Amino acid sequence: MAKVIVVTNQKGGVGKTTTCAAFTGIFRSRGKSVLAIDMDPQGNLSFSLGTEDRGFTIHDVMTGKCSINDAIKTTHICDVITSNILLSGSELELTSKRREFILKDILETVKDRYDYIIIDTPPALSVLTINAYTAADDLIIPMTPEILSLQGIAQLRETILAVKKYYNKALDVRGILLTKYVAKQKLAVEVGEMVEIVAQQLGTRVLENKISVSVAVAEAPAHQETLINYSPNCKASKDYVRVCESLYPEIGTIRRGRY
């Protein structure tokens, strides 16, 4: 039965899509079956994982135009359900009484086929975000060591607490993941101290492993490859491996230097 991992932050540019793609590549490198779902109307995860902009999307699935099986596309990386700009109208289209549970109910029909389902969310708090949180087992919150990024996380608090109260009591906020991190920067240290307070309010922690700045992070999507495949020995790739091994020890460990 698949573990559903949702990567979220209402601020853009903090590494949500990068983290989803990186996790996907690492899980696949350990022989795990993965379904990646792009819930962002911008469709960046869809592109990063090498899917073409045609056929059914997650918008079609959630609005009942097709089944989830019709929308699953198989790439050289993993199975993917793509997104496009039509998803931005979901707030007006999804009006049923159980609209917060649409994604959760849909995923129940395929969870036995995968080890992990990874969901990329839009940089906004909407019915799409609520659906992702309701369907999730784990929530991971990436952020950059900047004040504005910290504000984005603080604004997530009420939404997460509401979802845990009304829709998904088992939702586990696994941690806040600092990305684009330069340890020697004074601002990174100062923000790191403040985010510890926010993490406590969310009942979670700041993950010990942080993601270093690396040009390969920006290059990998252009080649439609995951970071672990494109540049397995760059520092950011190794950082992501450590994060995955720490959060999901069931994937096993590999000897350092052999990625």
- The predicted-structure confidence for 23-46, as pLDDT tens digits, reads as follows 999 999 999 999 999 999 999 999
| Tens digits of residue pLDDT in 209-243 | 999 999 999 899 889 999 999 999 999 999 999 99
Reported as a pLDDT band with limits 50, 70 and 90, residue 257 is: very low
Distance CA 174, CA 250 (A): 15
pLDDT tens-digit readout, 144-166: 877 777 777 767 888 899 999 99
Which of 5-14, 60-69, 208-217, 246-255 is least confident? 246-255
Distance CA 246, CA 240 (A): 10
Mean pLDDT of the chain: 89
Q: Which residue has the tokens 């993917």?
A: 80
Distances in whole angstroms, Cα of residue 125 to Cα of each of 55, 128, 156, 196, 225: 27, 8, 8, 22, 28
Residues 76/25, Cβ–Cβ less than 8 Å: no
Q: Which one, of 39, 18, 184, lies nearest residue 124 by Cα?
A: 39
Residue 47, pLDDT score: 92
Residue-level pLDDT at 256: 45
Angstrom distance (rounded) from CA 142 to CA 9 = 7
Q: What is the DSSP string of 152-165?
A: HHHHHHHHHHHHHH
In which element (H, E) is residue 176 found? strand 172-178
Per-residue pLDDT at 249 exceeds 60: yes
Q: Residues 173, 161: contact at Cβ < 8 Å?
A: no
Report the alpha-carbon distance of residue 228 to residue 28 in Å, rounded. Answer: 10
Alpha-carbon gap, residue 32 to 108, rounded angstroms: 19
Q: 186: number of CA atoms within 13 Å, CB side? A: 0
228, amino acid identity: I
Hey, where are the domains in the chain? 3-140+215-249
Instruction: Read off φ and ψ for residue 229, nearest 5 degrees.
Output: -85, -40
What is the C-alpha to C-alpha distance for residues 197 and 120, in angstroms, rounded to an integer? Answer: 25
Q: Which CATH number fits domain 3-140+215-249: 3.90.1150.10, 3.40.50.300, 2.60.40.10, 3.90.1300.10?
A: 3.40.50.300
- Examine the pLDDT at 254 and tell me if it is beyond 70: no
